[in-house]
Structure 1
């Protein structure tokens, strides 16, 4: 999760955008304040339409809280920062997702919800990596400890893996998730999902266990082992115009994720885990995706079109993302750090 602030001026501009979208949603859809405001985007390919369960209210959330600075082993987060983020997030949505559990993220978020008495629930996350199984076991134990301390009142599920299959295939020269190489990676991931279920059972907890990946990269064996799948879908990386981005996302999600999952015996629920639009690029060469610019104005267009469409379709989704992340800009450049609804630091001169 993560909140962000660049300069105070940029922060005010983004807050105004968010506020205007909330008003439009509340008037046009008649849902609550948590419905339809936060979005998130990452560097994967994806798209989509409706959810696998149209009888379930849309999951409209933000992703990432002040677990910013929670890049293990450099854990610089604090309860005070997480509380500030939860207070802000609770005005936009009732549901969030975490990507991992390092740096005590699970406990910090649940403690912040407890202290603020806000109506926020969370999908806890375990970020496992193909070549370091200790990353999984370390985070599994942190999730277990948090659940033993705080219970499940504000927990919606546990997501094991984020883009694990994408990373495994890239590291092992593969491209197809349902291939011999893909099945090798799936074997690791399915074992971790089963182990998480056992951990929950051992402590007397019943929660859905799922997986998140880039839209194209779900392995069938992984989905068969999961209660839900969360798909990272980014129209920006498909070189669409911002005017077409919402429709492209819906179509991709339906064709690539919802329909195939519906054919499986366990029928895992499918959600859009990341959808959004960047507001800035750190270099001129990445400012345009071939269709539209990275800009605050185009973020507004994406919000105006995506939110109402998703609500109408009954699509559960998470917005990518809550705040900009300057560490991504430093590490990757381009648009990578600039997907937030909110800026990162009042004195950060990013734009």
Structure 2
């Protein structure tokens, strides 16, 4: 709980507990001890923890950890995973309502329904809008004053989708644009403000970057180009460079974002491709909560998010 290398400079952190994928968790359950240790580390980085789903008791374990660690200022963004399977979607939503009925609104900062469902084409924009409207109605019926959001790629947001949520949450990864680490912070800001923030002009809606980060190893991304000379190089030095240009400046201008992510997710190795082995390497730390060798989290002269 007192790691001098960790600084609470991130407005939010994206987090998925180890072994929290259904149905794998039926046989290999996530550990409360592991989640509590994770949350102890996360609390030194941020006051807001974003979850992606409700399966495998992950939300309950995070809330229990926050309670046992007496982290009175840490909030959870309640995540609901949506996909092409109605049974999965209904299960996730039912679990969300049970959590809200049991705990009320107080432990939560908001509700995020779905992540990149439009990008994956799991649901149409109309189908997603119907789910969002239904959730909004249920929150109102329960007298729960929680902001409603969905997150998708910055390119997938439209004026219509923005009208159906309280917060526009865009996943924006400069690494996949093929820009260098030196250019990444400026590119991210320009993309976000011109593609997504403009959708809420003249309204009281908020804007968050729901994912932004840099992989520590795994190859080079050229974005949409088939080849490139420089590109986005996955590495510790490049991760540090992006943080140096992004983190403290974001504190200064009040940018709301979730850093992706605190810990590596080894289960994602299945999505790696030859020469693109970065899917499981986005963490500031490894899966055992060890800060990766050479990673330097900015201290922003003692300022905190």
Q: Return the TM-score normalized by structure 2.
A: 0.84
* Match in the other structure for 2:206: 269
* Residue 126 of structure 1, CA deviation: 0.9
After superposition, the CA RMSD in angstroms is: 2.1
Question: Cα 1:202–1:105, aligned 2, differ >3 Å: closer, same or farther?
Answer: farther
| Unaligned segments of structure 2, at least 5 residues | 223-229, 291-305
* Residue 269 of structure 1, CA deviation: 1.0
* Match in the other structure for 2:21: 71
- Does the CA contact (< 8 Å) of 2:176 and 2:221 recur in 1? no
* Residue 93 of structure 1, CA deviation: 0.8
Structure having the larger proportion of residues in helix? 1
For the residue of structure 1 that corresponds to 2:233, the secondary structure is coil
The aligned length equals: 274
* Residue 210 of structure 1, CA deviation: 0.8
Q: Which has the higher contact order (CA 8 A, sep 6+)?
A: 1
For the residue of structure 2 that corresponds to 1:100, the secondary structure is coil
Quote the Cα distance in structure 1 between the aligned partners of 2:137 and 2:23.
Answer: 27
| Unaligned segments of structure 1, at least 5 residues | 1-14, 23-32, 37-59, 172-183
- Does the CA contact (< 8 Å) of 1:104 and 1:142 recur in 2? no
* Residue 106 of structure 1, CA deviation: 2.0
Question: Which of 127, 133, 155 in structure 2 is aligned with 1:194?
Answer: 133
* Match in the other structure for 1:45: none
Question: Which of 53, 62, 74 in structure 2 is aligned with 1:100?
Answer: 53
**How far does the alpha carbon of each residue in 1:203-256 deviate from its partner, in whole angstroms, 9 at most, with x for none?**
332211111001101133221110002111111111101001011101100000
**How far does the alpha carbon of each residue in 1:314-349 deviate from its partner, in whole angstroms, 9 at most, with x for none?**
2101100011111112333421111101101489xx
* Residue 312 of structure 1, CA deviation: 2.2
Is 1:338 aligned to residue 281 of structure 2? yes
Quote the Cα distance in structure 2 between the aligned partners of 1:262 and 1:343.
Answer: 40
Matches within 5 A, 1:50-65: 60-65=11-16
User: Which shows bigger deviation, 77-86 or 237-246?
Assistant: 77-86
Matches within 5 A, 1:28-47: 33=8, 35-36=9-10
Quote the Cα distance in structure 2 between the aligned partners of 1:288 and 1:228.
Answer: 30
Question: Cα 1:288–1:201, aligned 2, differ >3 Å: closer, same or farther?
Answer: closer
Matches within 5 A, 1:82-231: 82-118=35-71, 119-129=73-83, 131-168=84-121, 185-231=124-170
- Does the CA contact (< 8 Å) of 2:35 and 2:62 recur in 1? yes
* Residue 77 of structure 1, CA deviation: 1.0
* Residue 162 of structure 1, CA deviation: 0.6
* Match in the other structure for 1:320: 260
